Amino acid sequence: MLAINTIGKSFGGLIALNNVSFRVDGGSISALIGPNGAGKTTLLNIISGIFPPDIGKISFSGTTISDLPATKIARAGISRTFQQVELFGDMTVLENVMVGRYSRTRSGFISSGLRLPFVRKEERETRDRSLGILDYIGLRSRKDELASNLPLGEQRILEIGRALATEPGLLLLDEPAAGLNIRETRSLGEMIVRLRNEKKITILLVEHDMDLVMRISDRIAVLNFGEVIADGTPLEVQKNQAVISAYLGTEE
Partner 1 sequence: MNRDNSLAVLVLIAVIIFVPLVSGSAYVITIGVFSGINALIAIGLCILMGYAGQVSLGQAGFYGIGAYVSATLTHHYGLPVPLCVAAAMIVSAFAAVILAVPSLRLKGHYLAVATLSFGEIINIALNEWGPGGPSGFGDIPTFNILDFIFDTTTSYFYLVWGCVVLVLLFSFNFINSRTGRALRALHGSELASRAMGLDVTALKIKVFVISAAYASLAGSLYAHYVTFISPSSFTLFYSILVLMMVVIGGITNLWGGVVGAILITILPELLRSFEEFDVLVYGLILTLSLMFLRRGLVPLLIEKIKQLRGPLIARD
Give the footprint of ligand ADP on this chain (CB under 6 A). Answer: 11, 14, 16, 34, 36-42
Q: What is the amino acid identity at position 200?
A: K
Q: What, of partner 1, Mg ion, ligand ADP, none, does residue 39 touch, CB below 5 to 8 Å by kind?
A: ligand ADP
Selection from 249, 205, 225 nearest residue 24 by Cα: 205
Is 45 a binder of Mg ion (CB under 5 A)?
A: no
Query: Count H helices, E strands: the chain?
Result: 10, 10
Q: Using the rule CB under 8 A, which residue among 15, 50, 55, 248 binds partner 1?
A: 50
Cα-Cα end-to-end distance for the chain: 32
Q: Cα torsion at 185, 128, 70, 171 (round to 10°)?
A: 30
Give the shortest CB-137-to-partner 1 separation in angstroms.
16
Q: Using the rule CB under 5 A, which residue among 5, 28, 61, 83 binds Mg ion?
A: 83
Give the shortest CB-12-to-ligand ADP separation in angstroms.
7
Is 86 a binder of partner 1 (CB under 8 A)?
A: yes
Q: Using the rule CB under 8 A, which residue among 36, 63, 90, 182 binds partner 1?
A: 90
Q: What, of ligand ADP, partner 1, Mg ion, none, does residue 71 touch, CB below 5 to 8 Å by kind?
A: partner 1
Q: Cα torsion at 18, 19, 20, 22 (round to 10°)?
A: -170
77/108 Cα distance (integer angstroms): 22
* Closest to Mg ion by CB, 130 or 217: 217
DSSP-derived letter for residue 140 is G
Cβ pair 157, 137 in contact under 8 A: yes
What residue ranges bind partner 1 (CB under 8 A)? 48-50, 69-71, 74-75, 79-80, 82, 86-91, 95, 98-103, 105, 107-110, 112-115, 119, 122-123, 126, 162-163, 166
